[in-house]
């Protein structure tokens, strides 16, 4: 993953336990072998951001890398249960296939987080 820090100008830190006024940026890629079947059509994946070292829940943007049929997979930008360490993404296949079968071992989530 990639780590960075954007210095914010004119920011007021209200939580004294927070580090200096800094917006940390972090980018990473999920493991394509960690998809879980949710039902016959849908799958989900927990994405690990612990290496980022966020102290609070960040803002996260995602994209999906898939070798084929990625245009039929829906849900990449719908982030569930986000915390400072993990988030979860659910996928469904709009073409009546199984997102689990399409993605297990082949698809990964790329993310950029800011917090």
- The per-residue pLDDT of the chain, averaged, comes to 81
- 56 vs 1, higher pLDDT: 56
Q: Name the most confidently modeled range: 10-24, 41-55, 86-100.
A: 41-55
Q: Which helix (H) or strand (E) holds 93?
A: strand 86-93
Q: Which among 55, 56, 26, 47 is positioned nearest to 91, based on CA atoms? A: 47
pLDDT computed for residue 4 by the predictor: 52
pLDDT computed for residue 70 by the predictor: 67
- 104 vs 113, higher pLDDT: 113
pLDDT computed for residue 45 by the predictor: 94
At 6-39, the pLDDT tens digits run 544 444 555 555 555 678 899 999 999 999 999 8
pTM of the model: 0.75
Q: Which among 23, 37, 30, 27 is positioned nearest to 76, based on CA atoms? A: 30
């Amino acid at each position: 993953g990639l780590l960075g820090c954007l210095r914010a100008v004119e920011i007021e830190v209200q939580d004294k336990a927070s580090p200096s006024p800094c917006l940390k940026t972090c980018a990473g890629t999920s493991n394509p072998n960690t998809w879980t079947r949710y039902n016959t059509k849908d799958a989900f994946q927990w994405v690990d951001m612990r290496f980022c070292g966020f102290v609070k829940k960040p803002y996260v943007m995602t994209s999906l890398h898939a070798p084929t049929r990625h245009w039929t997979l829906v849900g990449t930008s719908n982030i569930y249960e986000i915390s400072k360490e993990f988030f979860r993404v659910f996928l469904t296949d709009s073409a009546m296939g199984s997102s689990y079968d399409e993605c297990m071992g082949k698809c990964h989530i790329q993310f950029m987080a800011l917090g």
